[in-house]
Amino acid sequence: MNLDSKIPSGPIEDKWTRHQFESKLVNPANRRKFEVIVVGTGLAGASASAALAELGYRVKTLCTHDSPRRAHSIAAQGGINASKNYQNDGDSVYRLFYDTIKGGDFRAREANVHRLAENSVKIIDHCAALGVPFAREYGGTLANRSFGGAQVSRTFYARGQTGQQLLLGAYSSMMRQVDAGRVNLLPRREMLELVVIDGKARGVIARNIETGEFETHVADAVVLCTGGYGNVFYLSTNAKNCNVTAAWRCYVKGAGFGNPCFTQIHPTCIPQSGDHQSKLTLMSESLRNDGRVWVPKARGDKRPPHQIPLEERDYYLERIYPSFGNLAPRDIASRAAKLQCDDGRGVGETGLAVYLDFADAIKRDSASTIAQRYGNLFQMYDKITGEDPYKTPMRIYPAVHYTMGGLWVDYNLMSTIPGLHVLGEANFSDHGANRLGASALMQGLSDGYFIIPTTIGNYFGSTSLPKVDSSHDAFKQALDDAKSRTQKMLAVKGSQTVDDIHRRIGKIMWDNCGMARNEDSLTRALAEIPKVRESFWSDVRVPGEGVALNQELEKAGRVADFIDLAELMCRDALERKESCGGHFRTEYQTEDNEALRDDANFCHAAVWEFAGTGKAVRNTEPLAFENVKLATRSYK
């Protein structure tokens, strides 16, 4: 597998500017000759569709929902980073670049991360011009707050609804192009196959979710913006529709899969309350600006929180990480919470929770001020738990959130399949082994608004693309593959529900490849996953038919791919014999229980190549750090 990252030469601060100048251009009159398929309508997909159509390309956009406004990007709460330094507190493009590299535990590509930091400034201006209602100071200037992994205030926000407001901005831009006839928006479509002709991505096979009909869509390039795969764990903060199918189908067709085991655990989630749950609810990291995290000092202390005096509380993040305190990065805060609960000091009925307490902030700033900052988040917590966080501390526990792994892309955001570009969380991203909070929105919009318009033009301007249509043998074969896979699932008629099998694979992954992994647990998971696969294909029950709306059939296809993905994740985690960011191998840790990297052997991205079901070849892309010195990550 050829892993040419295509990083431009020259100083890092000039790479993107130089690359833009050196990239091939497409004449405005010629752009309408090219058709692009965009799969997904979250922040990355909607912004890419709007930007490409605005340039004059013909865009066909596939959306799994009835409306793009239901994309999971809407669930992001706390904010979006940008290095505008409004606070005059020492921020800069370089500091955002440095914080992101360090936050990812030195497992990200320097050039991509610096470009992300550069574009962050443009994103805020662009979104404000679109009408995104960012919070403002009394004088009218945009407000900022702090987030984990940084000692400056660079996070722009719209209360606890930042993702929703940013998505509405991108959605309105895209719908303007729909109205102009330059974007053909197809709702309720799920991509099931990638079509590759002469080594290039030339279209997709999709299923109309409402009618069950299979469709062929031909294009000159495919832009995949389908989000992350955290639902492989069954319980996660992701919407239930989030899945890996589109990305996995591309992987099977030859796209490299980068760092699949890099999964982010978010420390601030409402704890699981029982087996009836189908997902978990995120409480924004922004709450850690004013909330203080603590547990009782004594093991097994079941007193209500208001009965535990100050001297009998352990504000452990403030104690262990005095420089960053409650705003330690997510992976570190999550492991710290797990250690407290493992030590018997967890709270709540299950003992798998810690407190997030706002009493000091309310006393200092007043309840009305806290309500202005987080009111909708407090209402959400109250509605779900029946507890008023103004009066009693929230109970939180880590949960699966974001996936840093994804399809490998070069500097142009193109996968190992020419013509297949991958944006946002679907690619192996700019975040290394851990994503800093408020960076996902930044990456999705940077990729869609500011990077893909340049890089896809460079692809079109330098690539021969003979005309093809749906009668080509490759389209016929891909269509047959999608239909036969669907029929195979319907024909099993076993006794186990899709959800039962999903819960089973999710538990295997959480227990063995979750917040902590080791050789024994990963080996155990790799022995169990093939049994789940066999159980699925021999005993799953998918009721109904394939020629109509069938939600169980939708879920079945996704779970089948989750099973295969789970195996690859465990193999990746087993091969990476170090701890870094969200990948924590218990055999590789310091005396202080911190992640212990092995830069001599694992300073690279692991990129997996499909070699058959249950088989894969590991390739590597070395990571060079020329602008940031490799160092042990410390937030103390």
Torsion angles phi and psi, residue 505, rounded to 5? -70, -35
Measure the CA–CA gap between 123 and 636, rounded to whole angstroms. 32
Look up residue 531 and give its amino acid: K
Measure the CA–CA gap between 423 and 247, rounded to whole angstroms. 11
Torsion angles phi and psi, residue 162, rounded to 5? -60, -45
Measure the CA–CA gap between 199 and 197, rounded to whole angstroms. 5
Give the number of other CB atoms < 10 A from CB of residue 442.
27
Taking 3-state DSSP, the helix, strand and coil percentages for the chain, each rounded to the nearest 5, stand at 40, 15, 40
The reply to whether 95 belongs to the active site is: no
Helices (H), 230-329: 245-252, 316-320
Give the up-direction half-sphere exposure of residue 631: CA atoms within 13 A in the CB hemisphere: 12
Mutual angle of helices 519-539 and 498-513, in 10-degree steps = 170
Measure the CA–CA gap between 145 and 78, rounded to whole angstroms. 9
Q: Is 79:286 a contact under the CB 8 Å cutoff?
A: yes
Measure the CA–CA gap between 442 and 43, rounded to whole angstroms. 9
Q: What does DSSP assign to residue 136?
A: B
Measure the CA–CA gap between 560 and 176, rounded to whole angstroms. 37
Start-to-end CA distance of the chain, whole Å, equals 41
Torsion angles phi and psi, residue 145, rounded to 5? -140, 170
H or E element that contains 38? strand 35-39
Q: Is 212:231 a contact under the CB 8 Å cutoff?
A: no
Find the length of the chain. 636
- Measuring CA to CA, how many Å separate 280 from each of 76, 240, 277? 14, 10, 7
Measure the CA–CA gap between 435 and 266, rounded to whole angstroms. 10
Measure the CA–CA gap between 393 and 381, rounded to whole angstroms. 11
Give the number of other CB atoms < 10 A from CB of residue 314.
17
**Catalytic, out of 330, 345, 585, 597:** 330
Measure the CA–CA gap between 296 and 287, rounded to whole angstroms. 20
Beta carbons within 8 Å of 328's beta carbon, 6+ residues apart: 148, 149, 317, 321, 336, 635
**Catalytic residue IDs:** 330
